[in-house]
Structure 1
Amino acid sequence: MRAIAGLSATLAVASMVCAPGAVADPAPPGATPLASLDACPPGNRGEPPVLLIHGTNASVEKSLGPTRQALLDDGRCVYGLDYDSMQPVSTSVDYFAAAVDRIIELNPRTTVDVVGKSQGALIARAVSLKFTDPERNSIRRVVSISGPQHGVTEVVGGIDITALGAGTPVFNLLRRDALRDMLIGSPYLSALNAGPLTAPNVRYTMIATETDRLVTPYTSGFIDAANVTNVLLQDGCPQDRAGHLAESTDPRTIDLTLHALDPTRHPEVRCLPNTDER
């Protein structure tokens, strides 16, 4: 288990209520510290807790709200943590690795499932690489929804914004640390992907959609490894054209996530028409 003491003041938001008397760890102004997380409530099914990680400039509700509700309806214990998605990805990875430690501290004799959307999916995989000790399996499964695992091009909606970034405020997002880290060939991704892409003790499901206009190419969301299942949203359901943003509420994406976490309990995956290619 990794130690959580000494987290820097760049740690981001957690979203559950603290047990009385907990000692607060440092956090940015307005952010809820990891010390505020509480143990899973009594009555959950006993499956591993699920940690949700949202995407860039979003929140857990915007990125994974319907998925969170489906998990809660299924009796799972769910931790939804918000964070500063413009800070360096490495800072967010350290934060969520500490969150995994904290969840296991609160719920002994368990492992954690991690579900990430977009930047959150990249963070989820990077966090899993911090838990490779075969003597302690801290993370059981990772579900990545349109994660830029190999980076994205400097193209948004089919428009190359490289030349516009420096002088046009609306496109100036490329000056933000996290977005630079997610570009193809960035120093962060080059270092992250220089070694093994997955942890040997974790099962991964990588979901992507061919209509993705933000994570481009969409195949950046896939990884070729023995412990990875890559799923294209349109495989077996070409009428589901949900794009990057629309995946957040897409029934098939939600079902694929539940199936990845518990295929025995959730064997069926719906195929419904979805023309929202945002």
Structure 2
Amino acid sequence: MTLTWRPLRTLLPALALAFAAVAAPSAAAAAPTRAPAVTSGWNDYSCKPTAAHPRPVVLVHGTLANSVDNWVTLAPHLVDRGYCVFSLDYGQLPGVPFFHGLGPVAKSAEQLSAFVDKVLAATGARKADLVGHSQGALMPRHYLKFLGGAAKVNALVGIAPDNHGTTLLGLTKLLDIVPGARDAIHGLTPGLTDQATGSDFLRRLNEGGDTVPGVRYTVIATKYDEIVTPYRSGYLSGPDVTNILIQDRCSLDLSGHVAIGVVDRLAFHEITNALDPAHATPTTCAG
């Protein structure tokens, strides 16, 4: 049976809403807030890294989030531990405030590249560490592989990433079942379809291996992830890779996709371990 435009036109908004949830860490979890004040130490371009923490940390938000909402808990957590912390907005669409990460992922990687250069110039550091949630952990891999980022980045820590795409509980199959759906949604919000399992973006990104030399990779996943499905699609293969399932640290941790990136203290512990492996301590249900 051939679908006519009328039912297709009705279905596409529903599909777009469904895929808008892909890797969205905080759109429903937090209302838009104002940018962090420099007096908090977050996005403070006068901050100079110390001998204990010699690299600035760049936080990369997920889809439908922004540089504030995604990091209202983690950024102060890291600042309190002596890190210079910065966060950026990327993937903005015209006329869509606050909810970012919707533009082409490769273009977003160009924004990250410029931002890292800005942070390195301000801090005087030779390299940065990146911490990303969801798309914010996937997109930097394009920067590392194709835009020269490997020379400027020491470590990439990914929280609930969709490194090999998401099926969104099978909904992404509709992109190819419904005639014109993939092209229509990609034309509106390419950042969403780029993350769907089997996308051209993902095929190019993962061709020839998941990692690049010289960068340490950490993936922190949760088996209760309802957005990145299956959750194991976030795992990476290659040298200098550590894949962590948070439930292996504490079986009582019930965090889903949003919570693991926004409020999960066990995930935060693993992040600090990844940023400073020489002083890592065991992560348990007690913290």
Query: TM-score, normalised to structure 2's length?
Result: 0.72
Query: Following the alignment from structure 2 to structure 1, what is the Cα–Cα distance between the partners of residues 149 and 111?
Result: 17
1:199 is matched with 212
Instruction: Give CA-to-partner distance per residue, 1:50-100, whole Å, 9 cap, x none.
Output: 000001111233323221111100110011112221111111011101211
Query: Following the alignment from structure 1 to structure 2, what is the Cα–Cα distance between the partners of residues 40 and 199?
Result: 31
Secondary structure at the aligned position of 2:70 is classed as: helix
Query: Following the alignment from structure 1 to structure 2, what is the Cα–Cα distance between the partners of residues 173 and 266?
Result: 43
2:148 maps to which of 131, 136, 140: 131
Conservation of the 8 A alpha-carbon contact between 1:131 and 1:139: no
1:58 maps to which of 60, 65, 69: 65
Seen in structure 2, the aligned counterparts of structure 1 residues 173 and 40 have a Cα distance that, compared at 3 Å, is farther
Conservation of the 8 A alpha-carbon contact between 1:16 and 1:38: no
Seen in structure 2, the aligned counterparts of structure 1 residues 66 and 46 have a Cα distance that, compared at 3 Å, is same
Q: Which amino acid aligns with 1:131?
A: G
Query: Following the alignment from structure 2 to structure 1, what is the Cα–Cα distance between the partners of residues 49 and 274?
Result: 23
Seen in structure 2, the aligned counterparts of structure 1 residues 249 and 154 have a Cα distance that, compared at 3 Å, is closer
Query: TM-score, normalised to structure 1's length?
Result: 0.74
The equivalences for 1:61-72 within 5 A come to: 61-72=68-79
Unaligned runs of 5+ in 1: 1-14, 19-36, 274-278
Seen in structure 2, the aligned counterparts of structure 1 residues 43 and 192 have a Cα distance that, compared at 3 Å, is closer
Seen in structure 2, the aligned counterparts of structure 1 residues 161 and 65 have a Cα distance that, compared at 3 Å, is farther
Higher helix share: 2
Instruction: Give CA-to-partner distance per residue, 1:77-124, whole Å, 9 cap, x none.
Output: 011112221111111011101211222222334210000001111012
Seen in structure 2, the aligned counterparts of structure 1 residues 16 and 112 have a Cα distance that, compared at 3 Å, is farther
Higher relative contact order (CA 8 A, sep 6+): 2
**Post-superposition shift, 1:213?**
0.5
Query: Following the alignment from structure 2 to structure 1, what is the Cα–Cα distance between the partners of residues 279 and 68?
Result: 24
1:221 is matched with 234
1:105 maps to which of 121, 124, 134: 121
RMSD between aligned residues = 2.9
Conservation of the 8 A alpha-carbon contact between 1:50 and 1:79: yes
2:267 is matched with 253
Seen in structure 2, the aligned counterparts of structure 1 residues 243 and 173 have a Cα distance that, compared at 3 Å, is farther
Instruction: Give CA-to-partner distance per residue, 1:10-31, whole Å, 9 cap, x none.
Output: xxxxx6899xxxxxxxxxxxxx
2:9 is matched with none
Secondary structure at the aligned position of 2:120 is classed as: helix
The equivalences for 1:72-151 within 5 A come to: 72-83=79-90, 84=92, 85-129=101-145, 130-131=147-148, 137-151=151-165
Q: Percent same amino acid at aligned positions?
A: 34
Q: Which amino acid aligns with 1:94?
A: E
Seen in structure 2, the aligned counterparts of structure 1 residues 154 and 212 have a Cα distance that, compared at 3 Å, is closer
Does residue 179 (structure 1) correspond to residue 223 (structure 2)? The answer is no
2:251 maps to which of 214, 238, 252: 238
Query: Following the alignment from structure 2 to structure 1, what is the Cα–Cα distance between the partners of residues 209 and 73?
Result: 32
Report the number of matched residues: 232
Instruction: Give CA-to-partner distance per residue, 1:169-217, whole Å, 9 cap, x none.
Output: xxx9775210000011111111111133212000000111110000111
Query: Following the alignment from structure 1 to structure 2, what is the Cα–Cα distance between the partners of residues 236 and 16?
Result: 32
Conservation of the 8 A alpha-carbon contact between 2:249 and 2:283: no
